[in-house]
Amino acid sequence: MRIKPIQLQLTNQLVQDYLNQDNNIQAYFDYPPFEAGKERLADLRKRSFQREALVETLHKLNANWDAPQEVFEQIERLKNANSVVVIGGQQAGLMTGPMYTLNKVISILTLAKQKEKQLNIPVIPVFWIAGEDHDYDEINHIYSSKDTKLYKHTSPQQLYFKKSISSVRIEKEKTAEWIKHAFRDLRETEHTKSLYECIQLCLQKSTSYVDFFARLIFMLFPNQGIVLIDSAHPDVRKLERKAFKQLIYRQPDISSSVYNAVQKLHQKGYAPSLEAEIDDAHLFYHDANNERILLKREGDLWVGKNEELVLTTDQLIQTAEEEPERLSNNVVTRPIMQETLFPTLAFVGGDGEISYWAALRGAFRAYDENLHVPPVFPRLKFTYITNRIEKLLTTRVLEPEHVLEHGVDDVKINWLMTQETPPIETVFDGVKEKVDKLHFPLQQLAETISPDLANEARKNIRLIQNQLAYLENKTKLKLEERYELELEQYTEIGNQLKPNQLLQERVWSPLPFINEYGIGFINKLLEKELSFHENHNLVYLNSYFNSLHSH
């Protein structure tokens, strides 16, 4: 396996300035990027955590997902008063969701390992499954490729309420059929049969989408000790009673600080991925159907966004104490809750998360004047290049960096237009220009005779040009038929490296890569010295594949 670090142009200026430690944005964070050392440890040692209760809860949750032994060993280490965690999270996507979820787990494991070696204390890798989220449309599909086209495979299971994903029972029969369809687009390899059986077994042992997700993560990372937590689990909610009450009491200050921070960031020319109003409660209430209701604050009343619920502050406090499972966090309060539960050495996030965390420093202080935003590390970013794609890049004389920055559409068209001498566009442009010149005297003559005839002359030249355009398109189509194979190669490269004009990790699921190489390539990647200072990494899988088969 060969890894090539590259620099891609970041589209998010806030993240770019944060990583470059620009003073404009650094003031919105408590620690500079890439710093998680003695200063952070000193900060954590001033605080106390429910370590025993947290360990007990994590044991229960991970045992329910049949976690490997290494996971329980990591959980036990949390009892050590000096232990800390590296944490990050994501929604529970089908087949783990897009590749960035896999990349985030790899990032958490890598940073925890590096920091443990550097600081000589127990550093536990924790993945926060955002089971409280309710955006089902975001997690209910994967993409596959067939006949050089991208297809979206969406689960047939319907969800009509905004329920937290953790509470949605997965329809096993429909999902099993969906998995079968997803595998039909895969090439049969030595891994296909066992992979299919493992995924189906994970499904049969699962009750919810979170269960299915957790079991797949353990299937992909069987020996690394990644600790999972479902943020929506009732036992986790019980640990959060005190924090929920504090969030309720401190809501005015939290909301105003976030609102002000967002306004100031906009004034500085940034676009934080967060919308905030002064009356946002930044909490959800779960009704009898477990549907999430976003709350607003109106004086002493907490009102559903669509006025479907009205609670007094006392009633909400009582809910936090007696039925904490009825409450959940949004993007503002979730980081605070995470910080109260875990001794967080570092948080690992994507660009979108870094962007909205920039607005949270004041919210942390509003919750507790001694609470600091943990060091925020950018997750590792990978584009995986298979043996076939590497060969196609060589054949088409393309650099993967160019594809990731610009896609393949322009270079594909340019290549096609140079396959005839002289090129088609040059010939037709010349003909159009000559026709315009030849026709112009006729238009002048028509102008001198009558306005009606002048209109006819202009209509006539438009008809001629339309016919030329039609002939040009037909010529291009015939040329595309002649070079169909080459054009399909460009399309395949684009689908694999820049699908839908997005980075690979934002579209593709890990499924085709695991089918091709097994889970061994993940272990190989984790053995590498990976740097969080790198903007992006190309991972060439061919050397791993070749070494595998040489044995």
Give the tens place of pLDDT for each residue, 289-319. 888 999 999 999 999 988 889 999 999 999 9
Residue 495 has pLDDT above 70, yes or no: yes
Sheet holding 2-6, edge to edge: 2-6, 536-540, 382-385
pTM above 0.85, yes or no: yes
**Each residue's pLDDT tens digit, 179-215:** 999 999 899 999 999 999 999 999 999 999 999 999 9
Is residue 456's pLDDT more than 80? yes
Mean pLDDT of 85-110: 96
Identify the pLDDT of residue 176: 96
**Is the separation of the CB atoms in 231 and 339 below 8 Å?**
no
Taking only the tens place, the pLDDT of each residue in 347-404 is 999 999 999 999 999 999 999 999 999 999 999 999 999 999 999 999 999 999 999 9
Q: Which of 312, 131, 307, 123 is nearest to 210 (CA)?
A: 131
Computed over every residue of the chain, the mean pLDDT equals: 92
pLDDT number for residue 551: 45
What does the CA dihedral 329, 254, 358, 127 come to, rounded to 10 degrees?
Answer: -30
Cβ atoms of residues 362 and 257 within 8 Å: yes
pLDDT of residue 181: 93
Q: Tens digit of pLDDT for each residue in 322-331?
A: 999 999 999 9
> Is the Cβ–Cβ distance between 250 and 366 less than 8 Å?
yes
pLDDT of residue 305: 84
Confidence of residue 529 (pLDDT cuts 50, 70, 90): very high
- Res. 160: pLDDT tops 90: no
- Read off the pLDDT band of 229 (50, 70, 90): very high
Tell me the helix, strand and coil percentages in the chain, rounded to 5: 55, 15, 30
Alpha-helical segments (H) within 35-89: 38-44, 51-64, 69-77
Q: 142 pairs with which residues across the strands?
A: 153
